[in-house]
Structure formats: structure tokens, C-alpha cells
Amino acid sequence: MPTSSVQPPLEPQSVCHPITSSAIFMVATIAPGSEDGVRAWCADIAGLVRSVGKRVPAGNLTCVCGFGSQAWDRLFGAPRPAALHPFREFGVEGRMAVSTPGDILLHIRAEQMDLCFELATQLMTALGDSVKVVDEVQGFRYFDMRSIIGFVDGTENPVGRKAVGFTIIGDEDPGFEGGSYVLVQKYLHNMTAWNSLTVEAQEKVIGRTKLSDIELGEDAKPSNAHSALTVITDENGEEVKILRDNMPFGRPGAGEFGTYFIGYARSPQPLELMLENMFVGRPAGNYDRLLDFSTAVTGGLFFVPSAYLLEALAERTGGL
């Protein structure tokens, strides 16, 4: 894994943008025969973000657009990102990181939900019948960056130049510099079962204290704690980080409480290794105890082209 000092030569999309108060996550599939319309739409995204964002300059509106492996082949053909492939499933029956349909991912962020809502509306209007939205989640910031289960989320995120180094592709994939990979999953939580645990038991599941967000010592943290299994190191023993921008969501009236997991990295490898550790275990069978209370109901892997390439893709003549 290259070090965080590598700076990509092309401007990325807003991958390393600060976490905001609101977000909309949209996953869509492309209708047969609609490839030309979707390609042309790639050139319109940046302009729509500017037009909507200009109405509330302090709203920090951004949008990241990514494409799945099969969609890339249909839309753009060769060359293709070196590490792009379909989402890989991990786990066993009853505890599975599932793969679900998805050609396009939109990650829309702002300090106000009205900005996210307006941009999502404009982007979908521009696409028209070219796509079908198969999953849409409106996320919100929950108190002091906590997930629905009550623990602070994203504490170990890299920041600044380190965030860029861990998430943005450099010269290891010529032609796709400034790009990134993003993995998404929608988790639903059994809050009745979770809330039946004592705070101490919850802390052992997560590996951190609930109130102060301090990591448990090695003598107190179980080897199958969530924070233990999601630490990844390279061949030199250096930690490889991902950038999480998870958001809580829910419908209390329907008893739905969830977390939308979204992780960015310059390669799918650390993302997939984390999932393998969580769902299979390290070693096998020593799986993430959080999965006794949380179920992944969606899963997708996408490539995020640089801002320049995203607009340039509108000029591609066709896929494979």
C-alpha cells in the first residue's frame, strides 16, 4: 500500500469531504438500452451540484458518483480500473455480507437535508427512465457522531493528507489517478436485543467505552470485538486505514433502525479483508459479535472516477 504522501495528479471527487449533518445514498440499476443517456449525464453532475449548492453556500453540498463493475463494462468498456470487480460475498448462512444489484452509487452530502433532497431530485430528473433506483437511504448525524447503537462512529478515520493517501489512487493505476473505490452496505439492527445488554457487555462487543469513546485495553478487549477485527495491517505491519462516512437512518414507527456503512479506499483489498474478518472471523469462526445484532441487507462495490474523468466519460463511444 503506497504511503499517504502520494498526491494524485488529477482532482478527486469529494471523497475526503468532511462528514456533514445529512446525506442521501442512492443505488440504481441502468435500464437496457439507456447507456447513451447515462454517459451523457456524467457531464452534467458537477454543474447540477454547483447550481444547487450555490443557493446555500454554507451548506457544503457535495456528490460522489461511482459505477459498479458490470456497469463500467456496459457504459465505458476498456480501459477499466484495475481492481474493479463485483462485490464479493463473505460469511455463512445467517451471517452473510450479501451482494445486491447496483450499477450507480450517488453519495450526496450537505449540512441541510433540503440541499441533499434537491440535488437528488435534479439528478434523478436528468436521468429520467434511464435508471431504476433500487435503494435509497436518508441519513442523519446522531448526536456527537454516534451510530444508532449509541457508540461514536468513525473515530479512527484518517484525516488530511493521510486521508488522501489511503483513499485516492496514485500512479499504481495509470489512467485512473485521482479515483477511489467505495464499498456500501445497509445494516439493520435488532435494537431490542442490543438494548437488553448491559453497557459493559455492549462495550466488549464494540471494543470501546460507550460514553467516552476510549478503546479498551488489550487485556479487556475480546479478540472478536468489532474494533479488533476491523484493524488491517500490510506486509510491513503498518495499519491500512479506510475512510468511513457512515450515517444512521431509521423509521421508528416501523421499528427500523440502521446504519448505512460507506467506506472509501484506494483499493478494494482492505475493505474486503475487513468484511472477511467480520463475517468469517479471524481465525475462522471468531466473527464480529456485532453481527449477532446487525444484519447486512445490501452490498455493493463501486469505482469513483476523478472529477475530470467523470466528465470525460460522457465522450466515450460505448462499452464492451
Grid cell listed for 94: 445467517
Please tell me whether the peptide bond between 283 and the residue prior to it is cis, using omega within 30 degrees of 0.
yes
Average pLDDT, the chain: 95
Does position 5 have pLDDT exceeding 80, yes or no? no
Looking at this protein, which amino acid is placed at residue 9?
P
Residue 20 neighbours by CB distance under 10 Å: 23
Percent with pLDDT over 70 in the chain:
96
Q: How far is CA 69 from CA 82, 102, 225, 283, in A?
A: 11, 9, 32, 30
Total count of domains within the chain: 1
State the average pLDDT over residues 263-283.
97
State the average pLDDT over residues 242-258.
97
Q: What is the pLDDT of residue 7?
A: 44
Q: Is residue 71 part of a domain?
A: yes
pLDDT tens for residues 161-182? 999 999 999 999 999 999 999 9
Sign of the four-CA dihedral 136, 141, 142, 145: positive
Residue 103 appears among annotated catalytic residues: no
Q: Is residue 85 part of a domain?
A: no
* Domain membership of residue 108 as a residue range: 22-77+90-315
Grid cell listed for 173: 493505476
Q: How far is CA 25 from CA 42, 197, 261, 262, 290, in A?
A: 17, 31, 10, 9, 23
Sign of the four-CA dihedral 230, 232, 238, 241: negative
pLDDT tens for residues 141-168? 999 999 999 999 999 999 999 999 999 9
Q: Is residue 181 part of a domain?
A: yes
Q: Is residue 5 part of a domain?
A: no
Q: Is residue 8 part of a domain?
A: no
Does position 196 have pLDDT exceeding 70, yes or no? yes
CA pair distance 198, 217, nearest whole angstrom: 19
Q: Is residue 138 part of a domain?
A: yes
Grid cell listed for 74: 456496459
Annotated catalytic residue, options 103, 135, 153, 245 = 153
Q: Is residue 9 part of a domain?
A: no
Q: Is residue 320 part of a domain?
A: no
Name the pTM for this structure: 0.95
Task: Convert 83-119 to b/e letters by CB count within 10 Å (16 or more is b).
Answer: bbeebeebbeeebebbbbebbbbbbbbbbbbebbbbb
SS3 per residue for the chain: CCCCCCCCCCCCCCCCCCCCCEEEEEEEEECCCCHHHHHHHHCCHHHHHHHHHCCCHHHCCEEEEEECHHHHHHHCCCCCCCCCCCCCCEEECCEEECCCCCCEEEEEEECCHHHHHHHHHHHHHHHHHHEEEEEEEEEECCCCCECCCCCECCCCCCCHHHHHHHHCCCCCCCCCCCCEEEEEEEEEECHHHHHCCCHHHHHHHHCECCCCCCECCCCCCCCCCHHHHCCEECCCCCEECCEECCEEEEEHHHCEEEEEEEEEECCHHHHHHHHHHHHCCCCCCCCCHHHHCEEECCCEEEEECCHHHHHHHHHCCCCC
Does position 318 have pLDDT exceeding 70, yes or no? no
Percent with pLDDT over 90 in the chain:
94
Does position 9 have pLDDT exceeding 60, yes or no? no
State the average pLDDT over residues 31-50.
97
Grid cell listed for 8: 494524485
